[in-house]
Amino acid sequence: MSKILMIGGGSWGTAFANYLASAKNQPVKIWLREPEIIESIKTNHENHVFLPDIKLSPNLIPTADLKNEVKDADIVILAVPSKFIRNTFQDIKGIIENKLIVNLSKGFESTSLKTISQLAMEILGDNILQQWITISGPSFARELAANHPTVVVASSKNQEILEKVQKDFSSDILRIYRTDDLIGIEVAGSIKNVIAIASGIIKGCGLGYNTTASLVTRASVEISRFGIKLGARPETFWGLAGIGDLMLTCFGPLSRNYQLGERIARGETLEQIEKTSVMVAEGVETTKAIKQLSDRLDIEMPISNQVYRILFNQKNPLEALKELMKRSLKSEWNSN
């Protein structure tokens, strides 16, 4: 059996590692920073901070020893927030380059404006993509942890390792499709978090499904436009990483980004929310990056731009919505 190490003990990292430990009935190690969570998993088989009330497999083994565990692993899985991923790559540089790497993290780094795989190439070298797989799609951690059937998509430049992971990780609980459009699923999985914030704002403003469905549909066009500009294929945005994940995070209140948007609409500031939340809402950092990238590349992103103004310029959400509704009228399939 392959030795598997999960780096990151948030809700998704814990749920995915626990799935592998349970479904494949093998030991899976999970690296965490927090001593209290390590102790909670060891003694109570529960991540009481990020995945409370979910009983974890005895095969899930917590550890605080990052470098030695990376050296010992055959497969390293990443579930680290995008704002911390650079430091993680730097910490394991020189010992991860010969491992099979499965990335679950989503987002753009707000300083370099790079996706997770682009950041990996910068720090670990271009050849890292020959050992790299990204998994994305509609997948709430708590539902996978409860064994709800979940379907995702995986992408890699190396079809041999992609097909191996697809086969080894799939089961009657998790089904994995494959694609070679890495940039496409990275863009889709990142920007959907920005749109989930917008969906939460709609809910917090007391608006209903007419507004939310319109948001999701137009956001799909917006995300596609952005991704195609970066070299992605249009059909990726019709699939699991695109419309699938977008629907989940915009209609599902389990989304951290959705919850953040709802609280913003009800009057809390971003600073207040971040101080009182133990979980990272990836959409905040991604909103910064998308604003800068879309300005630089001259890509029309009206919804994402309004989310940016609400989060960082304290724009009134209802005023932002009114401006979106009053944009110049055009054909539905106009690229702008």
Q: Is the dihedral of CA 28, 79, 254, 224 positive or negative?
A: negative
Least Cα distance to 132 among 118, 144, 114 occurs for 118
3-state secondary structure of 123: helix
3-state secondary structure 211-251: HHHHHHHHHHHHHHHHHHHCCCCHHHHHCHHHHHHHHHHHH
| Cα gap 87→336, rounded to integer Å | 37
Q: Are 242 and 188 in contact (CB under 8 A)?
A: yes
Q: Is the dihedral of CA 289, 305, 261, 254 positive or negative?
A: negative
Of the residues 106, 192, 288, 291, which is catalytic? 192
Verify whether residue 192 is a known catalytic residue. yes
Q: Are 324 and 303 in contact (CB under 8 A)?
A: yes
Least Cα distance to 131 among 109, 103, 150 occurs for 103
Least Cα distance to 66 among 36, 43, 38 occurs for 38
| Cα gap 137→336, rounded to integer Å | 26
The set of catalytic residues is 192
